[in-house]
């Protein structure tokens, strides 16, 4: 009897010791995971280079401006020419021609159909960094625009690509209110998803910018409750067309733009120089050939254009407001100082007109009320316009959908609490959207698997970690002679040091390579190809190497979006 008693006591002691050891190990593991930094990535949709106060804008963006004072601000941060290629590169660190976005969905040329890298969705030749963070114990979430797959194929949704929680608009755009108004006539309605299900109805007070911020706060709180570090992707759909804002904010900028886009361009150029985001030697570029001078517009056309810009500005101000809410929430819950916080735009400003695309003009005219008094409200549908887009893209040439600087340069700022002497500083060296994935992985202490992930072959990361730059240990991410290249719709661009080579089809180019010295001519007004033929030849050879490495297939004909959406006089 005594022997059995002592055996039982011994077993109880051992069991208790093992339980205590297990709990202690779990607590230590939890603390170790929680000690890793959070990552909050905020992306604005089609926001131009000078659309923020800290980059020279007249638009009120006090919260983002305050963030800029604590951040490293970039003036040579480059994305893809349009949104889904940018997002694919951001999520994977792999070139668009490899990750599935060699062109936009439903805009294939005949010779691109069925090709690897031209699927029109984020393919499975890549692994996303959210998936790797999720594997490593991070709580990963996204709220806002997805644009990486089809509403009909769940394997292309965020929950299949590494997001623990998701609330997303699946296509590239849509109305910003509860009615789920599509952004193209050929789409029945804007499709939203939450996790692994489509969303039926939206609340009556739904406004995209507000509700995405609400979801960001909700998902961040979930990560805190789970005691896990988080990666959250706040993927706004503002200020993407259609331009809409809640009724109480329609008149925020009433009358502000009555002097026209030429006057605003002068103002922003001066403000950008004072802010240090535009070079002092930058000249005001002439109006693009598809922009009618303000004084030549009819009074009714001026009123329509002014009102459209007023709504665009109000959308950006509301975006700033709700960004401020999310940042304040991080402070309130004590997570701000352990969070790498990034604010960026996904490409240049939107100056293309969708009205010539797939019967959109007729659909807009018969479906919406675009009277002057109604512009910006739930049942209106207007775009920004070429003149204002050129102002938003200052001091660069062209805008979204071009491989020019105006198409691929975007505002970006990085707040890294552990960075030394980077707060309120501006860096003019080249950084690519491809560099974000390796930065986040290094910050989290996660290795990229390089060429194989869970039994499938994948492409390795092509970007470079920014962490030395953010830590204040380096002034640049890439050596000056590294080649960076873009292509979409056959339009090509290549950066190498101060040199930029570009190829565009008529009427934007002459089916020939052009060469620009960006140090002397950031607005790209002087083609110096004839003055520097050897340099141009060098860059063309660099392009051919890029083309071969990334299996680029140039379109054999102008595709519908590129041909029908950009109108010239």
**Residue 83 annotated in active site:** yes
Gap between the terminal Cα atoms of the chain = 103
Q: Which of 147, 176, 322, 448 is catalytic?
A: 147
Is the per-residue pLDDT at 384 higher than 70?
yes
The predicted structure's pLDDT at residue 29: 38
What whole-number distance in Å separates Cα of residue 277 and Cα of residue 44? Answer: 18
Q: Which of 2-11, 155-164, 441-450, 549-558 has the lowest mean pLDDT?
A: 2-11
Residue 231: strand, helix, or coil: strand
**What's the Cα-to-Cα distance from 542 to each of 79, 102, 407, 481, 539, rounded to whole Å?**
19, 19, 21, 11, 5
The predicted structure's pLDDT at residue 40: 98
pLDDT band at residue 212, thresholds of 50, 70 and 90? very high
425-442 burial, b for 16+ CB within 10 Å, e for fewer?
A: ebbeebbbbbbbbbbbbe
The per-residue pLDDT of the chain, averaged, comes to: 93
- pLDDT tens digits for 255-305? 999 999 999 999 999 999 999 999 999 999 999 999 999 999 999 999 999
Task: Single out the residue of 99, 177, 36 nearest to residue 463, CA to CA.
Answer: 99
Say if CB 470 and CB 339 are below 8 A apart.
Answer: no
Is the per-residue pLDDT at 351 higher than 90?
yes
Q: Which of 54, 78, 83, 168 is catalytic?
A: 83
The predicted structure's pLDDT at residue 106: 86
**Residue 147 annotated in active site:** yes
Is the per-residue pLDDT at 428 higher than 90?
yes
The predicted structure's pLDDT at residue 135: 98
The predicted structure's pLDDT at residue 6: 38
What is the mean pLDDT of the segment spanning 379-396?
97
Higher pLDDT, 35 or 482: 482
Percent of the chain with pLDDT over 70: 93
Is the per-residue pLDDT at 386 higher than 90?
yes
Q: Which of 28-37, 164-173, 265-274, 441-450 has the lowest mean pLDDT?
A: 28-37
Q: Is the peptide bond prior to 356 cis by the omega test (within 30 degrees of 0)?
A: no
- pLDDT tens digits for 217-228? 999 999 999 999
pLDDT band at residue 562, thresholds of 50, 70 and 90? confident
- pLDDT tens digits for 20-77? 333 333 334 344 556 799 999 999 999 999 999 999 999 999 999 999 999 999 999 9
The predicted structure's pLDDT at residue 564: 73
Task: Single out the residue of 136, 71, 131, 339 nearest to residue 220, CA to CA.
Answer: 339
pTM of the model as a whole: 0.94
Handedness of CA 332, 334, 336, 340 (dihedral sign): negative
What element of type H or E holds 413? strand 409-415
What is the mean pLDDT of the segment spanning 240-266?
98
Is the per-residue pLDDT at 347 higher than 60?
yes
What is the mean pLDDT of the segment spanning 440-451?
97
Say if CB 389 and CB 428 are below 8 A apart.
Answer: no
Total residue count of the chain as it appears in this document: 569
195: Cβ contacts below 8 Å, ≥ 6 apart: 159, 165, 166
Token pair, residue 253, equals: 């900028």
pLDDT band at residue 565, thresholds of 50, 70 and 90? confident
Q: Which of 124-128, 185-189, 265-269, 330-334 has the lowest mean pLDDT?
A: 185-189
Identify the CATH number of the domain defined by range 35-479. Answer: 3.40.720.10
Is the per-residue pLDDT at 16 higher than 60?
no
Handedness of CA 524, 529, 530, 535 (dihedral sign): positive
Q: Structural domain boundaries of the chain?
A: 35-479
555: Cβ contacts below 8 Å, ≥ 6 apart: 103, 108, 109, 111, 112, 489, 490
Is the per-residue pLDDT at 473 higher than 70?
yes
């Amino acid at each position: 009897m005594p022997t059995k008693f002592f055996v039982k006591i011994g077993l109880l002691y051992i069991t208790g010791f093992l339980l205590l050891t297990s709990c202690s190990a779990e607590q230590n593991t939890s603390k170790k995971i929680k000690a890793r930094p959070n990552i909050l990535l905020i992306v604005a949709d089609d926001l131009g280079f000078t659309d923020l106060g800290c980059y020279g804008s007249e638009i009120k963006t006090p919260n983002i401006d305050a963030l800029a004072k604590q951040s490293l601000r970039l003036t040579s941060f480059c994305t893809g020419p349009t949104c889904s290629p940018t997002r694919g590169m951001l999520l994977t660190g792999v070139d668009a021609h490899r990750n599935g976005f060699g062109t936009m969905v439903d805009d294939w040329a005949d010779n691109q159909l069925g090709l690897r890298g031209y699927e029109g969705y984020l393919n499975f030749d890549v692994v996303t960094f959210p998936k790797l963070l999720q594997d490593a114990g991070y709580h990963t979430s996204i709220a806002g625009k997805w644009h990486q797959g089809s509403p009909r194929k769940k394997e292309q949704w965020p929950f299949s690509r590494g997001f623990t929680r998701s609330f997303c608009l699946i296509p590239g755009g849509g109305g910003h209110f509860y009615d789920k108004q599509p952004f193209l006539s050929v789409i029945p309605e804007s499709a939203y998803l939450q996790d692994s299900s489509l969303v039926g109805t939206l609340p009556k007070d739904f406004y995209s910018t507000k509700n995405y911020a609400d979801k960001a706060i909700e998902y961040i709180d979930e990560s805190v409750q789970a005691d896990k570090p988080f990666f959250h992707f706040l993927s706004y759909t503002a200020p993407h067309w259609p331009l809409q804002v809640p009724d109480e904010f329609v008149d925020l900028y009433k009358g502000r733009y009555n002097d026209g886009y030429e006057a605003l361009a002068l103002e922003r150029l001066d403000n950008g120089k004072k802010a240090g985001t535009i070079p002092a030697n930058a000249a005001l570029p002439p109006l693009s050939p598809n922009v009618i001078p303000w004084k030549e517009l009819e009074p009714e056309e001026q009123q329509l254009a002014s009102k459209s810009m007023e709504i665009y500005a109000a959308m950006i101000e509301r975006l700033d407001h709700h960004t401020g809410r999310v940042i304040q929430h991080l402070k309130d819950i004590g997570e701000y100082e352990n969070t790498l916080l990034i604010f960026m735009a996904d490409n240049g400003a939107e100056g293309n007109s969708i009205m010539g695309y797939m019967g959109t003009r007729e659909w807009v005219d018969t479906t919406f009320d675009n009277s002057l008094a109604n512009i910006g409200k739930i049942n209106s549908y207007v775009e920004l316009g070429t003149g204002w887009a050129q102002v938003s893209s200052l001091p660069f040439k062209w805008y979204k959908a071009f491989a020019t600087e105006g198409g691929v340069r975007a505002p970006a700022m990085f707040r890294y609490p552990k960075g030394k002497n980077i707060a309120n500083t501006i860096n003019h060296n080249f950084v690519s959207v491809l560099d974000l994935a390796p930065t986040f992985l290094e910050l989290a202490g996660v290795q990229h698997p390089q060429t194989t992930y869970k039994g499938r072959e994948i492409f390795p990361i092509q970007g470079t970690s920014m962490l030395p730059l953010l830590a204040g240990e380096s002034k640049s991410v890439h050596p000056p002679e590294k080649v960076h290249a873009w292509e979409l719709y056959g339009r090509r661009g290549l950066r190498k040091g101060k040199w930029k080579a570009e190829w565009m089809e008529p009427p934007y180019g002459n089916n020939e390579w052009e060469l620009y010295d960006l140090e002397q001519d950031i607005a790209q007004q002087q083609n110096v190809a004839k003055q520097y033929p050897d340099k141009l030849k060098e860059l063309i050879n660099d392009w051919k190497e890029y083309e071969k490495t990334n299996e680029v297939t140039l379109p054999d004909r102008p595709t519908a979006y590129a041909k029908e959406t950009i109108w010239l006089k």
